[in-house]
Chains A and B, each alone.
Chain A
Amino acid sequence: MTMTTNPQLDVDRIIDDRRIRIIVCCGSGGVGKTTTAAAIGLRAAERGRQVCVLTVDPARRLAQSMGLSSLDNTPRLVEGIDDEAGGSLHAMMLDMKRTFDEIVEAHSDPTRAAQILANPFYQSLSSSFAGTQEYMAMEKLGQLRRSDEWDLIVVDTPPSRSALDFLDAPERLGRFLDGRLIRLLTSPVKAGRPFGRMLNAGFSMMTGAMTKVLGGQLLRDAQTFVTAFDTMFGGFRERADATYKLLQAPGTSFLVVATPEPDALREASYFVERLAEERMPLAGLLLNRVHSAGSCRLSAARSLGAAETLETMISNGPLATDSATHDTVAAQTVSAAALRLHASRMNLGERERRVAGSFMSAHPAVPVVEVPALPDDVHDLAGLRRVGETFAVQR
C-alpha cells in the first residue's frame, strides 16, 4: 500500500545501473541513514557490484553486523556475502584526523609536514573542528572514487547539526583558507605588508582586538599554522572543488532518508530543495520506519467503538465464578485490548500519512519508497539483507 501519487523510487534500478558510481545517503540524525547505507551496499554487492561502504558513524553494532570487530580508515572486506553474482563488499569508517594528516603529508615536504602536524592549532582543527568531519568525508569519497577499485561507493553523511552542513563544510573551510582573515593572520609574520598606511592602522586595531579576545598564544599558533600551511591552500581548494563537481556528476545519486516525523521530513525538504539548487542528482526519498496498516482494514473509530462495547460487557457481566464465564471474559478482555491496539495503529498510520502527505504535495516529482518499521535491530548480515529486501519495489 502506498500513501501517495509520487513516483515510486526503485532502489534496485539505481543499484543495477552501472553508470551510478556513488550513492550518498543523507538526512537528519536518528532516521537510519547508516543502516540504510550498509543495507544498500550489501544488496548491491549481492547483485554483482564491487561495493565500498563509507560510514562516518562509529556504531559498533553495525560493524559487528558486517562481521568486523571494528571499522577503520581502510576499506575491509566483508566476509560471508552471497557472491554468486560476482560482487564484493568492503566497508570502512572515516578517521578524520588520519585523513587530514595524509593530505598534509601528500602535499608538503617532510619537514614542513612535521611542522604542521605538531602545531597545536592544527591538532585541534584536525580532530575537533565541527566541519572537518564533513570535509574529510568528502575528501575520502574523492580518494575512493579516484582509486577506481570499486564500481560503487555508498556513503552516509556525518551526523551534523543540520543535514546541509555536509554540503557547506568544504566551501566554508575553503573560504576560510582563502580568506582575508588568513591574510590578516599571516601578515605580521610575513615580510613586508602590502597594505597602505590607513589600512595598516585599521588592521593593527583589528589584530589588537583579536589578541584581546583570542589571546596572544592562540593567535601565534594560528599564525604559525597558517604560514606553514600556506603552500597547501591551492591544493585544498582544488580538491574541495573537484569533490563538489563529482557530487554534481551524473554518476552520483543522492538518497534522502527520513522517517514519517515532521522534523525529519522538514530536513528532507530542505535537502531536496538544496540539491535542486546545486544541481545535484536526487534519486529520491526513502521513507523509513513506516507503520503500515497491515491486512486489517477495520477503521479506528469502529475498532474503538467495539472495544468500548466489550469493556462495558465485561464490567456489567456476571462475575467469573465458573470456568466457562472466565474464558468468555478472558476472550473479551483480549479482544478489547487488541481492538484498542488496532485503533492506535490506524491512528498512527493516519498521522504518518498526513505528515508524509505534506512533504509529497510540496515535492510531487520526488520518487518515494516506503520502508516498513521492523521490530528488531540489525545484528548480522542476514538482518542487513532483510532491510535491503524491504527497499525493493513490490512488483
Chain B
Amino acid sequence: MTARDTDWDGVRLHVVTGKGGTGKTTVAAALALALAHAGRKVLLIEAEGRQGIARLFDRPPLPYAERKIAIGPGEADDGRDAGGDVYALAIDPEGALLDYLQMFYNLRGVGNALNKLGMVDFATTIAPGLSDVLVTGKATEATRRRQAGSPSGFAYDAVVLDAPPTGRIGRFLNVTAEVSGLAKVGPVRAHADSVANVIKSPQTAVHFVSTLEEMPVQETLDGIAEIRSIPGMQVGGIVINMAQPAMLSREELKAPPDLAAMAAALTEAGLHSTDALASELADELAGHARHIELADRERTDIEAAGQPVYELTLIPEGIDLAALHRLAAELRDQGAA
C-alpha cells in the first residue's frame, strides 16, 4: 500500500468524457493504468462499443466479459509494490440487458425469445434512456460489487468508465431524470434509482478531456456547468490532452528572430542554403508561437473552471502500450491517481 495522497482518494467510479477527437478513450485507459498500482485492481469499461480499448492495448475485440488486459506500474521506491491489474469490459446494451434480466429476475433463458420479438431491440435502442440505464447500471454494479477476501472488500478498487462524448454526458448520467417521464414507479425506475445512488455520490467523479482548442474547451466548460447543475454529481479533473510543448520560453517566442544570425548558426551546424532555410524555419517558429499563444488563452479558460487540471504531452508517434504507460505516469506525477 502506498500512503501517497491523490486528488481523488474517495472516488471509486471515474467517468471520463470529452469531445470527439480529444482522446477520451486514451485518457480513460491511461487513468486506469495509473490507478492500478500497489496491487490494486481496476476495471476499465467501454460504454460505446467501438472496441477502442482493445485496439489501444493491442488485443482482439473484447467480449462482454471482464478480462485482464494489462498490469499497472510498480513503484520503484517501494520494493513490495508489484503493480496492480487492469481488467477491461466492453459493454453493449444487449449484453447488459440480458445481464440485468439474469441478475434481477433470473430470466436469462427468455433472452432468445425476447430477441426474436424485437424486445431486445426495443429495450436497447428504441425505449428512450433504457440503454443508458443499462450501461450505467452495469458500471455501478461493478463499482459496488463485493468480494470476500479482497483488502478493500470490493471486487474492484476503482472503475474507470469511458463514457459518451461531452455533448451527451449529462443525459447519459442523469438516469433518474431520463427515465422519470417514462417510469414513475416499477422495476425500471427502481433500477435507475439504484444507479443514481452511486453516480450522484462522492464515490463518483466526472473527468473531462479537452485539447487546447476553442471548441473542445467550450464544450468542456458547458459540460462542467451541466454536471454541476445536477444535484449530487461531482465534477472531477480536467485533463488537457495532446498538449504541444513550447519549444522556447514565451519571451523568446515573442521576439522576431534575427534571420542573419540564424543563418550563421545553421551554417555552423553543417547545413546548406541557410538563408532560405532560416526564413522557412522562422516562419514555422512564428506559426508555433501563434499556436502556443492560442493554447495559453484556452488554458486560462480551463483553469478558470476551478477544477484540478492535468496536462498530458502530445505523443506525435501515436498511442501504443508504451505511450499509455507514459501518460499514466504523467497522471500519477500530477496527483490524478
Contacts and interface: CB of A to CB of B under 8 A. Distances in A.
A296 interface: yes
Interface stretch (B35-43, B150-158, B176-184, B196-204): B176-184
A306 B268 CA distance: 9
Interface residues of B, number: 80
Given A123-B181, A159-B165, A334-B252, A31 B21 contact: yes
B66 interface: no
A87 interface: no
A31 B48 CA distance: 18
Contact of B269 (A221, A309, A340): A309
Contacts of B258: 327, 330-331
Interface string B119-136: 101110111110100000
A348 interface: yes
A262 B261 CA distance: 41
B185 A337 contact: no
A294 B282 CA distance: 12
A29 B21 contact: yes
Contacts of A328: 261, 264-265
B232 interface: no
Given A180-B117, A342-B281, A351-B317, A327 B187 contact: no
A221 B182 contact: yes
Interface stretch (A38-46, A78-86, A205-213, A275-283): A205-213
A334 B126 contact: no
A35 to B, nearest CB: 9
Contacts of A175: 118, 121
B65 interface: no
A319 to B, nearest CB: 18
The SS class assigned to the A binding surface is: helix
Nearest to B165: A29
Contact of A347 (B21, B114, B317): B317
B306 interface: no
Nearest to B104: A213
A287 to B, nearest CB: 14
A221 B22 CA distance: 40
Contacts, number: 222
Contacts of B284: 294, 296, 338, 341-342, 345
Nearest to B245: A344
Contacts of A327: 258, 261
A277 to B, nearest CB: 20
Interface stretch (B81-89, B141-149, B213-221): B213-221
B110 A129 contact: no
Instruction: Determine the interface band of chain A, counting residues with CB < 8 A from chain B.
Output: 35 or more
B337 to A, nearest CB: 24
Interface string A216-230: 111001100000000
A306 B269 contact: yes
A222 B131 CA distance: 16
A241 to B, nearest CB: 19
Contacts of B185: 215, 217
A334 B262 contact: yes
Contacts of A259: 21
A14 to B, nearest CB: 25
Contacts of A129: 125-128
Contacts of B248: 333-334, 337
Interface in A182-225: 184, 206, 209-210, 212-218, 221-222
B269 A216 contact: no
Contacts of A29: 19-21, 165
Interface stretch (B2-10, B71-79, B285-293, B326-334): B285-293
Contacts of A305: 270
Interface in B231-269: 247-248, 252, 257-258, 261-262, 264-266, 268-269
B131 A130 contact: yes
Contacts of B48: 161
Contact of A213 (B19, B107, B277): B107
B20 to A, nearest CB: 2
A17 interface: no
A179 B125 CA distance: 14
A253 interface: no
B186 interface: yes
A302 B188 CA distance: 64
Nearest to B130: A214
B316 A351 contact: yes
A172 interface: yes
A26 B25 CA distance: 21
- Which A-B residue pairs are the 6 nearest by beta carbons? A215-B186, A29-B20, A30-B21, A30-B20, A331-B261, A124-B128
22 contacts: A124-B179, A125-B127, A128-B129, A128-B171, A129-B128, A130-B125, A131-B125, A173-B126, A181-B121, A213-B123, A215-B186, A218-B188, A259-B21, A298-B277, A310-B265, A313-B269, A333-B248, A334-B248, A334-B285, A337-B247, A337-B248, A347-B316
Given A129-B125, A295-B280, 8 more contacts: A30-B20, A129-B126, A213-B123, A217-B185, A218-B183, A309-B270, A331-B258, A377-B214
Interface of A: 28-31, 59-61, 120-121, 123-125, 127-131, 159, 161-162, 172-173, 175-176, 179-181, 184, 206, 209-210, 212-218, 221-222, 259, 261-264, 294-296, 298, 302, 305-307, 309-310, 313, 327-328, 330-335, 337-342, 344-345, 347-348, 351, 375-377
